[in-house]
Structure 1
Amino acid sequence: MQAAPHLSSLHDFDFLVGNWRVHHRKLKERLAGSHDWVEFDGTCSMRQLMNGWANVDDNVMSVPGSAYRGVGLRSYDPKTGLWAIWWLDGRDPFGNLDPPVKGHFVNGVGNFYSDDTLNGKPVRVRYTWSHITSTSARWEQAYSPDGGKTWETNWVMDFVRAI
């Protein structure tokens, strides 16, 4: 007999559907002891795919001197109850997709993890979604050089719903 699907997290990203203004705060250098941040604005437009089992967002990042786009793609696995999130960077659209971060929400906070490399060294990656309301949300990216013992937040995105 097949196990019942986990559907309790299927609607976790419904809050993100629509258009957003986004304020970015990004470390100039990751895992280098940097305290220099670059701040810039952007937009995000997200829509559901496959009747809610997946979604995609188109992001415009107005980085001074080097504006670019990126795409976030998410899909839900009813066997595990986990979301997988991939990132496609518009500066290298024919390059590889980043390894997907996988996770779920607990008490309104979503944590998603993967293993990747930075400058040839292994890092653990964490995305965190929090502070979610009908008109705002926060996304953070952090890297760990020591398998998750310590984390450096290197990118923060504050979302405000566009009218």
Structure 2
Amino acid sequence: MSQTVQIESTARDFDFWMGSWEVGNRRLRRRLAGSDDWEEFEATVVARPLLDGLGNEDEFRTDHDGGFVGMSFRFFDPELRRWSIYWADSRRPGELDPPVFGRFSGDVGVFEGEDIHRGRPILVRFTWSGVTTSTPRWEQAFSDDGGRTWETNWVMDFRRPGGE
């Protein structure tokens, strides 16, 4: 018997994400600079549904580098069958980053959008993987050459508190 693989996004794609998480972070200290100097730190996340399941939010907290709080907002468009994801944090209060857009295929979701990094236009990619496991992963990558090459600059590995 073959296993059915989801090939279209639905409003339930982020159901795995709801609740509390501990986060192992690995982040490049300098992005798009040819650096391979990574920093590692811990954080926590709490995720909640919004809009009767058509969206969700999470709050990211860390004491690293003086501490900061971040929030992601995700909204599902049932007509386009795609997600938009927005980020804001306490280091730049009053601003939402431009959205990334995308969908899931199986247990991998890829979301891309345009942004500015150090005054120049870039593409941003978020990749969610392992979402059907107890240890999902999120990765962020930037491209400054129109998507020909990508530099992964932040990786988050998630686990439930106390090994739930």
Scaled by the length of structure 2, the TM-score of the pair is 0.91
* Partner Cα distance (1:66, 1:8) in 2: 37
Q: State the Cα distance separating 1:133 from its structure 2 match.
A: 3.3
| 1:1-163 pair list within 5 angstroms | 8-63=9-64, 65-94=65-94, 96-162=95-161, 163=164
Structure 2, unaligned stretches of length 5 or more? Answer: 1-7
Tell me how large the CA RMSD over aligned residues is. Answer: 1.2
| Structure 1 unaligned spans of 5+ | 1-6
Deviations 1:41-86 (A, max 9, x none): 00000010111101000000231x3211100000000110010000
1:92–1:33: structure 2 CA closer, same or farther, 3 Å change rule? same
Alpha-carbon distance in structure 1 between the residues aligned to 2:123 and 2:42: 27
Tell me the amino acid that sits aligned with residue 61 of structure 2.
V
Matched letter for residue 21 of structure 1:
E
Q: TM-score, normalised by structure 1?
A: 0.91
State the distance in 2 between where 1:147 and 1:61 align: 32
Query: Does the aligned pair in 1 maintain the 2:11–2:55 contact within 8 Å?
Result: no
Identity %: 48
Q: CA deviation at 1:135?
A: 2.0
Judge conservation of contact 2:86–2:97 (CA < 8 Å) in 1.
Answer: yes
SS at match of 2:127: strand
Give the Å deviation of 1:131: 1.6
Kindly tell me the number of residue pairs found equivalent between the two proteins. Answer: 155
Tell me if the contact between 2:9 and 2:105 (Cα under 8 Å) persists in the aligned partners.
Answer: no
